[in-house]
Amino acid sequence: MEVNSLAEFGRSRLSKLDYTYDLLSGLSDDELEAVQKVALVFIKRNTEKMASHSTRDIVPFQPQTEEQLFERIDRSLAQVDAGLCEDLDDVVNEMLAEFEA
């Protein structure tokens, strides 16, 4: 079934899987590769949600071992030493100036 014929047939008559297959069947190989990458992101995100508490919980910080914590701190200090960080007050002032303009 071509995408153009889908409009005539009506989406409501197709299952979600059939509708998606119909849409995908008209894409080029490059476009299909892009869709695959997006699908993999969704799958990874859903796997991570299931591994954490509940899909309704927002967990911004995952538990870490002491070694992992010290590695993050060391990495952050290296970024500061390399000049890759900005002072919070400077960033906030810059953002506020953009809103006022």
**Contact of 49 with 55, CB cutoff 8 Å:** yes
Question: Does the reported pTM lie above 0.75?
Answer: no
Q: What angle do CA 39, 5, 42 make, to 5 degrees?
A: 10
* pLDDT digits 0-9 by tens, 67-80: 989 998 999 999 99
Task: For residues 64 and 70, give the distance between their C-alpha atoms in angstroms, rounded to a whole number.
Answer: 10
Residues 26, 34, 37, 68, Cα dihedral to 10°: -170
- For residue range 22-66, list pLDDT tens digits in order: 888 888 998 999 999 998 888 888 777 666 555 566 666 778 889
Kindly list the distances between the CA atom of residue 56 and the CA atoms of 18, 40, 48, in Å, as whole numbers in the listed order. Answer: 29, 21, 13
* Confidence class for position 1, pLDDT limits 50, 70, 90: very low
Cβ(35)–Cβ(27) below 8 Å: yes
